[in-house]
Amino acid sequence: MVTNKRPSERPTSWWLAMLQKRAERMYDEKLDLSQPIEWASEEERSAAVAFFNAAYRAEESGLTQAHQLADEVRAFDPELAECLRLYGDEEGWHRELLTEFLAHIGGEIRPMGRVTGTFYALYGRAERMETIVLTNLMFETIGSTTYRLALRRATHPAVRQMLTILTRDESFHVPLNVHFLRQVLARTSWLARQRLAPLYHLLYASLIASAWASRRRAERFDKIPFAVLSRAYAEHLGRLFVHESDLRLAPSRAILRLFGLRRDELARTDDPSVITVEAAEAAVDRERVQITAL
């Protein structure tokens, strides 16, 4: 089916059908861990363990928040609640894959560091639905951005397979979360909406800055320099909201300027991290997604 419709213009029933189709075959996809990974150094392996630990925590947090939201939403929108439940299940599946992958590379699930722990503790305490969904959407955006950049640089087949699965699915989760946010905002008061903009700006700046901390731990594995990752976060977190202009959350011009970016340029170009309807439909048949399309 060829359509230029943005995924965000699709109704909840369309997203539910997509998620149900994906769920039918999700557990059939297995990691091929038959070959041991030869690391260039112990530092590279240890950075890979840090990288995939961060991914594990993101999945864990996504799973918990999605299922909690599903329970709250069920009372007024059972169809949306089912979408949230299936979406949480996808994050749960990623968490399982990452557990298996970490064991394969001789890593363990580590306690969170101070910065990450504070981030997730604050996020875990968030109560307002629109706050949770906006935060999650921004996490999904930096997740899919990081995975895509790491995938471009990865060479080992097992690492590439793990990153391909994560990139493909998180790219699907970005427009899905835009849909969640729009549905939740439709029920949010004017006053509560006003509180979202300061949160968006705080997260925008903090997530860009978080690239610094992640470089210390993971750069030896993913080979993404700070300048590249921080600019990519500024660009993708910015472009998403420039395009979804009805959400009325536009990135700071001053921060964009720091990275040589402008709102009008972001508005003109499509974001590869926000997939089209065609890509979302292709992502249902998971093996049809081409790595080059990511």
Name which position in 45, 173, 179, 215 contacts Fe ion (CB under 5 A).
Answer: 173
| Minimum distance of Fe ion from residue 140's CB (angstroms) | 5
Q: Is 215 a binder of Fe ion (CB under 5 A)?
A: no
Closer by beta carbon to Fe ion, 140 or else 235:
140
Print the binding letters for residues 108-147 with Fe ion: x by CB under 5 A, - otherwise. --------------------------------x-------
Please, which of residues 57-76 interact with Fe ion by CB under 5 A? 59
Which residues lie below 8 Å from residue 39, measured CB to CB, with a gap of 6+?
A: 45, 48
Site stretch for Fe ion (CB under 5 A), options 70-78, 164-172, 220-228, 259-267 = 164-172
> Please, what is the minimum distance in Å from the beta carbon of residue 106 to Fe ion?
23
Give me the sign of the Cα torsion angle 221, 226, 232, 234: positive
**How far apart are CB 291 and Fe ion at their closest, in Å?**
17
Apex 158 CA angle, 288 and 292, nearest 5: 35
Q: Is 204 within 8 Å of 251 (Cβ atoms)?
A: yes
* Contacts of Fe ion in 31-60 (CB under 5 A): 59
Closest CB to Fe ion among residues 261, 289: 289
Query: Considering the complex, what minimum distance in angstroms separates the CB of residue 111 from Fe ion?
Result: 21
> 85 or 173, CB closer to Fe ion?
173
Among 91, 130, 222, 244, contact with Fe ion (rule: CB under 5 A): 91
How many Å apart are CA 142 and CA 128, to the nearest integer? 22
Q: How big is the site for Fe ion, counted in residues (CB under 5 A)? A: 6
Those residues whose C-beta lies under 8 Å from the C-beta of residue 74, and which sit 6 or more positions away, are 81
Give the residue, chosen from 94, 148, 215, 220, that forms a contact with Fe ion under the rule CB under 5 A. Answer: 94
- Which position among 170, 222, 244, 271 is part of the footprint of Fe ion (CB under 5 A)? 170
Residue 123 to residues 21, 62, 157, 239: CA-CA distances in angstroms? 30, 10, 34, 23
Nearer to Fe ion, 89 or 170 (CB): 170
Q: How many Å apart are CA 70 and CA 133, to the nearest integer?
A: 12
DSSP 240-285: HHHHSGGG--PPPHHHHHHTT--HHHHHHS--TTS--HHHHHHHHS
Least distance in Å: CB of 253 to Fe ion?
29
Helical spans, DSSP H, in the chain: 12-26, 42-73, 78-104, 114-125, 129-153, 157-185, 190-194, 196-222, 226-243, 253-258, 263-268, 277-284
Cα(141)–Cα(106) distance, integer angstroms: 28
With CB atoms as reference, the residue minimizing the distance to Fe ion is 173
Using the minimum distance from each CB to Fe ion, give the nearer residue, 140 or 222: 140
Binding site for Fe ion (CB under 5 A): 59, 91, 94, 140, 170, 173
